[in-house]
Structure 1
Amino acid sequence: MQPKIDSIPILQLASGDLLSLQLYRFQGAKSGPKVYLQSNLHGAEIAGNAVIHQLLEWLMHLEPHQLHGEIWLVPMCNPLATNQRSHYFSTGRFNPYDGKDWNRIFWDYAKENIDLLGFVQSHLHLDAEFVRRSYLERIQLQFATLGDKLRSPASAPLSEHYRFHLQSLCLDADYLIDLHSTSNQGLDYLYYFSGRDESAKLFRLDYAILLDPYDGDAFDEAFIKPWLALEQCFATLGRNLHFNVEAWTLELGSGMQMKPDSVHKGVLGIQNYLIKKEIVQGIVLSQPVSKQQIYLTSTRQIKKYYSPYGGMIYPKVSLGESVQMGQVLYSLLSFNKQSQSPTLTEVLAAQDGIVYDLAYNHATNSGEYVLATF
């Protein structure tokens, strides 16, 4: 099965050159759910590109009758960030025009001035699929007004143009998968949302973090929050209605690297997810996914550590290591420039946890990020 390939211009540079997205669309012989995958939203987080490449090769070996629905894939979904450099280092986490995190700019229908309660009351006893279609139509109509703004004489900032192009591809999806890496050194894990615990296990990663509370207008959050709000509103009126809409962010390894093990885990997990969701049918994985236990936690359990002083870091823990409260995480060597000998300060763990993220740079200023545990 061959994908339909489209190039979508998203930004014209002063030189006249165009930056574009490349979209690969696989359409099955059977109608069914829409799956949307993208990678490299942050410039240094490149492992997802290798994952999408391997998924493309896997999907191209399918016959149309083996695909139930459609799968859209967008590698390198942020070409401006991907090409951003400082010396040898990729950065690309923040929009250079306004300083905003590229993954905190997305439009969230749940934040619009909508009468959600009125909608639920008028749809309280209607068929779930009809409710879903009606609600999606409302989202799409409101989203279309953003396009009107972009086409107006005053237009809009770059971030609004960019988010419109990207969100227009996935607004009607059933399942969304956003492939990231940490910008530092990191483990492989995923973020998930309320009521999606069992589906989280299908990716077979060792760790999963429940997004509770949310950080901001991230891509996966902006996609699923309207549906979570709808479910919650139905629940307050006594109807337990769960929509088959899911959003995931997979964090695969470290920034600026395509680690083979992280890529392999990402590919195998997504394949397993697509098969268990019966989107890809009649396929048995050549390398069965192990049945290991997944460690579920939440953003409430995350503890981030920032340097109390400027200096040089002697690390005392490694990725994946379990730490206990009071254990030494790192020592900080500080040349204080106050006619005194250098100081060596031990930084202790404030709570039990697992080290899942470590800064690359062992030279730090006061208040800079060092590591995180969950």
Structure 2
Amino acid sequence: MLPVVESIVLRQMASGDRLSLQVYKFIGAQPGKKVYIQSNLHGAEIAGNAVIHQLIEFFLTINAPDLAGEIWLVPVCNPMGTNERAHHFSPGRYCVYEAKDWNRIFWDYEKQADDLVAFTKSQLHVDVEVVRQNYLTIIKQQFTKILEKINSPSCVPYTELFSYKLQNLSLDADYLIDLHSSTDKALDYLYYFRNREDSAKYFGFDFGILLDKYDGDAFDEAFIKPWLALEACFKELGREIKFDMEAWTLELGTGMQMNPDSVAKGVQGVKNYLAQKGVLQIPDFSDDTKTHEMTFVSSSNRKKYYAIAGGMIQSRIKLGSYVKTGEKLYQILSFNKEGKLPNVIDVCAQQDGLVYDVATNQAVNEGEFVLGVIS
């Protein structure tokens, strides 16, 4: 099947050039869920673009009856970040003009939902799908007010304009998948939200990190947080509800690289997920995630290690290693300007855990990131 391809203008530059997004919409013959998938929100995190390309090639081979609902794919979703360069490096993590993380700029309805309890009480005996439509209507009504600011003579900063364009595409989705990579070197894993462990297994990753603490400004958080708040409010009022709405961030290995293994894991994971959720309806589709064992940990159990002195990192433990408390993680070869000989400083683990993320640069200033351990 062929997609509907739509281009959306993002920004006019001082030179007169315009930056745009391209959206590929695969629309099935059967009604169903809307899936929104994007990649490259951070400029150096490019593996997701290869994942989306391979997904597009796969969807071209299926027929419309094989798809229930629709899948929207947005590769290179942040051209400002993608095009940013500093010598050989492709940072693109921050909007340098506004000094904001590109993934900490999104609109979270839950922060302004002062009438959530009243709304929940009014929906206590209403069908779940009707509740979803009623709540989504309110979210959309509040979201349109952003457009009023954009169209006003004073306009808004670019990060607000940009976040509006992305969220406008995804606001009414059922399942949202945001494809990322580490800024440095990392394993493949995913972030998920409470009560979604069963669905997380469909991706076939070895471990997932529960976001148990978050502020709602990230893309996946802003999407799902209002619905989690509504679920919690229903529970407090005596009704158990779980909306079939999910948000995922897939972390696909190392930044500035399209690692083939990470890309393959992302492609297979997304296909498995879509099949298990009933979006892909291909009878002979093979899936080995039903019996997949996955380790779940909480984001609050992450421990990041920052350099206790400036110098060069040596003898660093390998990515993917399990460490015990007190075991050496790395050494800092530290120089000085005090007429003394260089010295070597051992840094040891403060907790047991898995080394899941390590810095690319092994020359560090005091206080810069070296590695991350999660338990």
* Count of residue correspondences: 374
Distance, in Å, in 2 between the alignment partners of 1:287 and 1:112 is 41
The equivalent residue for 1:246 is: 246
* Maintained 8 Å contact 1:268/1:289: no
Distance, in Å, in 2 between the alignment partners of 1:232 and 1:212 is 14
The equivalent residue for 1:72 is: 72
The unaligned stretches of length 5 or more in structure 2 are: none
Amino acid at match of 2:222: A
Counterparts of 1:172-187 in structure 2, within 5 Å, are 172-187=172-187
* Maintained 8 Å contact 2:216/2:225: no
Distance, in Å, in 1 between the alignment partners of 2:127 and 2:192 is 27
Moved more, 355-364 or 215-224: 215-224
* Maintained 8 Å contact 1:275/1:283: no
The equivalent residue for 1:328 is: 328
Amino acid at match of 2:47: A
Counterparts of 1:322-361 in structure 2, within 5 Å, are 322-361=322-361
Which string of whole-angstrom CA distances, capped at 9 and with x for unpartnered residues, describes residues 47-82 of structure 1? Answer: 000000000011111111110000000000000100
Counterparts of 1:274-285 in structure 2, within 5 Å, are 274-285=274-285
Which string of whole-angstrom CA distances, capped at 9 and with x for unpartnered residues, describes residues 87-145 of structure 1? Answer: 11100000011111000000000011430000001111111111100000000000000
Which secondary structure state, in structure 1, belongs to the residue aligned with residue 141 of structure 2?
helix
Moved more, 28-37 or 105-114: 105-114
Counterparts of 1:300-311 in structure 2, within 5 Å, are 300-311=300-311
Matched-pair identity in %: 56
The answer to whether structure 1 residue 22 and structure 2 residue 31 are counterparts is no
* Maintained 8 Å contact 1:204/1:291: no
Counterparts of 1:285-324 in structure 2, within 5 Å, are 285=285, 288=288, 291-324=291-324
Amino acid at match of 1:206: D
The TM-score normalised by the length of structure 2 is 0.98
The equivalent residue for 1:197 is: 197
* Maintained 8 Å contact 2:328/2:347: yes
The unaligned stretches of length 5 or more in structure 1 are: none
Shift in Å at residue 316 of structure 1? Answer: 2.7
Amino acid at match of 1:5: V
The equivalent residue for 1:145 is: 145
* Maintained 8 Å contact 1:220/1:248: yes
Structure 1 vs Structure 2 CA RMSD: 1.1
Moved over 3 A (4+): 283-292
Counterparts of 1:200-211 in structure 2, within 5 Å, are 200-211=200-211
The equivalent residue for 1:237 is: 237
Structure 1 314/216 Cα, relative in aligned 2: closer, same or farther at 3 Å?
Answer: farther
Shift in Å at residue 290 of structure 1? Answer: 8.4
Shift in Å at residue 207 of structure 1? Answer: 1.1
Shift in Å at residue 366 of structure 1? Answer: 0.7
Structure 1 288/240 Cα, relative in aligned 2: closer, same or farther at 3 Å?
Answer: closer
Which secondary structure state, in structure 2, belongs to the residue aligned with residue 86 of structure 1?
coil
Shift in Å at residue 285 of structure 1? Answer: 3.8
Amino acid at match of 1:186: A
The equivalent residue for 1:37 is: 37
Shift in Å at residue 284 of structure 1? Answer: 3.2
* Maintained 8 Å contact 1:123/1:131: yes
